Amino acid sequence: MSARWPLDGGAFITGRDAANAAEFMTRTASSFEPDWKDPSHWRVVYPADIGEALSVVEDLWLRIARHPAMRSTVLTDASTEECIVMFRPTGDGRDSECCQLLAAASIQESYGWRQGGGHGCLVSDIQWAGDTLLIELTSAGRMQRWPEGEAVEWAVQGLLQRVKQQGRKP
């Protein structure tokens, strides 16, 4: 069975894993398949270039913000360049679609990119506070140092405005 282990910067390692968690806990390292022990069979995967990663994030976040059983909030602090996006289900937000959307948004690897010999991640941290998903974006200053950094920063700011607007539900 193939497995993925997250790394810093939005990348992840793929390789072979035990069939299930119980089997993993009871097996010793010597009992894994031979290719498991050889790191040359592992590979680091960056899912997309910056534009593709941003498109995926935009689609997902706007679907969450538009969902009638979800509440979205964008908090920004201009002095620290910190920006946190919060997604919280409302009273009806326990349905399977809400759960699937929040689960997808909570996967750090989804925000990673690789382009022009560089790599990075659109978010710096993802945490749960009860049933609220908190997503801290990478700082604007850091984004500006990326390939096409100024365009990425403007695109992220536009996305944040749309999430704010969609998050204002009556």
Question: What residues contact residue 135 under an 8 Å CB cut-off, 6+ apart?
Answer: 84, 85, 86, 87, 105, 123, 125, 126
pLDDT in tens, 81-117: 789 999 998 875 567 888 889 999 999 888 988 887 7
Among 11-25, 94-108, 153-167, which range has the highest average pLDDT?
A: 153-167
pLDDT of residue 75: 93
pLDDT of residue 109: 84
Question: What residues contact residue 21 under an 8 Å CB cut-off, 6+ apart?
Answer: none
**Per-residue confidence band for 129, with pLDDT thresholds at 50, 70 and 90:** very high
Q: Which residues pair with 123 in a beta bridge?
A: 137
| Better-predicted residue by pLDDT, 104 or 36 | 104
Mean pLDDT, rounded, of the chain: 76
Q: Residue 14: is its pLDDT beyond 80? A: no
Delimit the domains of the chain by residue range: 2-45, 50-167
**pTM for the complete prediction?**
0.70
| Better-predicted residue by pLDDT, 119 or 22 | 119
Q: Which of 79, 70, 87 lies closest to 133 in space, CA to CA?
A: 87
pLDDT in tens, 53-87: 899 999 999 999 999 889 999 998 878 778 999 99
